[in-house]
Homo-oligomer: A and B are copies of this chain.
Amino acid sequence: MSKKNRLIYLPLGGAGEIGMNAYVYGYGPAEKERLILVDLGVTFPDMDGTPGVDLILPDMSWLIERKDRLEAIFITHGHEDHIGAVGRFPELLDVPVYARAFTANLGRGKLTEAGLDEKIIRTVSPWPETVKAGPFTVGFVPVSHSIPESAGLVIDSPEGRIVHSGDFKIDHTPVVGEPFDEELWKEIGKGGVKALMCDSTNVFSEKEGRSESELPDQITALVSSAEGMVVATTFASNVARLKTLAEAGARAGRSICLMGRAMRRMVEAGVETGVLTGFPRVISPEDAQSVPRENLMVLATGSQGERRAASAQLARGKFNGIEMKEGDMFLFSSKTIPGNERGVIRIMNQFSELGVDVVDENSGFYHVSGHANRPDILKMHDLVDPQMVIPMHGEHRHLREHVKLAKTHRREGIVAVNGMMLDLSGNAPTVADYVETGRTYLDGSVKVGALDGIVRDRIRMALNGHVVVTLILDERDEPLGEPWCEAMGLAEVGRSRVPLVEILEADLGQFLGRASERTLADDDKIEQELKRIVRRVSQDEIGKKPEVTVITSRLA
């Protein structure tokens, strides 16, 4: 073990996926580095791979085992994939959590909800204010994104300066919050930057990004043209968009009503922290019921088709006393995240059945992305002018493309995925270690490891059904009657036109009748044999091999 100090970078989440960001930086002698954590986010489950799971968290075991070396946590902005897990790892909260005011406001809500002390979160003013954290000095530099007060971090270490871009776009007129300040970033880059950890989300988008301020005209024109009720959805945290939508409604003489808890929470946080000013007066859903539909504009959560959100509920029927109908308009001022198409299309069709006109990105220009497109990513490289670019916030294909892009422009770059520890001390990054990482599921109120097999068992039951066999053996290991079978999620009757469970019970009974004393004395042997028979008979009868649970009870 060398005693030489080194500067390390270790993504525990967010590098190789879009979601659950968690990046560790460290400085010191190998395996004694003092550490900071940047972001602690979640990702969302889906029926394909994580049915029944409530939230997906990064596996933070590596850091928890080294928490005595942790100096501080920094949260770049208030999106769930950056802040969502902050109340889920109380083990890590012996150190301060730093964030800007709006982000801190949201974070405190999360800690309170989790029954933790909200005082752990400390509000930081933007650059040039900085925070000391062990060997690091960290400053929050405002960037434009799709939530107020997003920040990139300037992380100074004895080995040089690192810039962690956070999620960003280059928007000089962002409607709400600070414009992207190119001069400031150039200034920050001037003294020399060792590495730029850079947002990769939109690296495949070739065109220059568009400003949030290009939307109000389009949206206002659309809302003005509407004759019935207008309901619009976007990400609840996109406070600038909420403002644009609400102002478009107000300008068209409509009362504004917010539906969905997350949206009310975000507007509240915006007002409380002074980020959001001049938001039109909103009315409650109760009051909205008595407003003529042509004078009403509703902003609703659920732009991704989430079943329980306000938009999906409106699509299914009445919500909060409001019902959409023929002649109304529903606007998606949003993009469908890949994987959410089915849910979004479902509510589009439900609205179609109600006679509601659906307007989305394909119908006109009603949304801009919050992430830097390819030319803007390149601009960020040039402004910061780092020795090396280390792409983050992307799936593998995004990271790889981002490195290619950097190299095309003669800049050093490396694909570093979750668990890959880089040593940044030299002139080029080297791989210092591979650390075990993964996912932790919040399942109900319990954290379970992604590899524990619990969710795998649920998926198997969903694909194959479940047969439970109960067998009672008496004091002499003799079966007491025939075994019972219960089937869940399987066709009742198959090829023989006799109920499957009857056939199973008969075949199992026959087997047990002929089984040797040795077999009958051995629970494992019985289980193995009965499973085999259930699978074989089910395959033959209904063409499926179910999951099987065998319960053997011995009368002692």
Which A positions have Cβ atoms within 8 angstroms of B? Answer: 16, 46-48, 51-52, 204, 338-339, 341-342, 345, 348-349, 351-353, 355, 358, 362, 395-397, 400, 443-446, 448, 454-455, 457-459, 461-466, 468, 470, 472, 480-481, 484, 486, 488-495, 539, 542-544, 547, 549, 551, 553, 555-556
Q: Complex Cα distance A547/B461, Å?
A: 12
The answer to whether A52 touches B544, judged by C-beta atoms less than 8 angstroms apart, is yes
Q: Which of A51, A463, A494 has the most CB of B within 10 A?
A: A51
Whether A342 contacts B349 in the complex (CB less than 8 A), given A51-B463, A454-B489, A462-B47, comes out as no
The answer to whether A462 touches B465, judged by C-beta atoms less than 8 angstroms apart, is no
What number of copies of this chain does the assembly contain?
Answer: 2
Q: Complex Cα distance A463/B341, Å?
A: 21
The answer to whether B352 touches A445, judged by C-beta atoms less than 8 angstroms apart, is no
Min CB distance A550 to B, Å, is: 9
The answer to whether B489 touches A445, judged by C-beta atoms less than 8 angstroms apart, is no
The answer to whether A338 touches B345, judged by C-beta atoms less than 8 angstroms apart, is yes
Q: Complex Cα distance A51/B465, Å?
A: 10
Min CB distance A461 to B, Å, is: 4
Q: Complex Cα distance A350/B470, Å?
A: 43
The answer to whether A52 touches B342, judged by C-beta atoms less than 8 angstroms apart, is no
The answer to whether A544 touches B443, judged by C-beta atoms less than 8 angstroms apart, is yes
Residue from B339, B455, B489, B555 in contact with A458 in the complex, judged by beta carbons closer than 8 Å: B489
Residue from B204, B495, B551 in contact with A445 in the complex, judged by beta carbons closer than 8 Å: B495
Residue from B349, B446, B553 in contact with A397 in the complex, judged by beta carbons closer than 8 Å: B349
Whether A51 contacts B462 in the complex (CB less than 8 A), given A397-B348, A486-B551, comes out as yes
The answer to whether B472 touches A466, judged by C-beta atoms less than 8 angstroms apart, is no
Contacts of A345 in B (CB 8 A): 338-339, 395, 397
Contacts of A444 in B (CB 8 A): 491, 494, 539, 542-544
Residue of chain B at shortest CB distance from A539: B444
The answer to whether A551 touches B338, judged by C-beta atoms less than 8 angstroms apart, is no
The answer to whether B542 touches A463, judged by C-beta atoms less than 8 angstroms apart, is no
Residue from B339, B362, B458, B468 in contact with A551 in the complex, judged by beta carbons closer than 8 Å: B468
The answer to whether B551 touches A491, judged by C-beta atoms less than 8 angstroms apart, is no
Please give 17 more A-B residue pairs, beta carbons under 8 A apart, in addition to A446-B495, A488-B547.
Answer: A47-B47, A52-B464, A204-B362, A339-B345, A341-B341, A345-B397, A349-B396, A444-B494, A445-B495, A446-B494, A454-B492, A457-B465, A458-B461, A459-B462, A461-B489, A462-B462, A468-B468
The answer to whether B338 touches A542, judged by C-beta atoms less than 8 angstroms apart, is no
Contacts of A462 in B (CB 8 A): 47, 51-52, 458-459, 461-462
Q: Complex Cα distance A549/B551, Å?
A: 13
Q: Complex Cα distance A51/B484, Å?
A: 26
The answer to whether B397 touches A342, judged by C-beta atoms less than 8 angstroms apart, is no
What are the 5 tightest A-B residue pairs by CB atom distance, in nearest-first order? A444-B543, A445-B543, A462-B462, A458-B489, A444-B544
The answer to whether B338 touches A338, judged by C-beta atoms less than 8 angstroms apart, is no
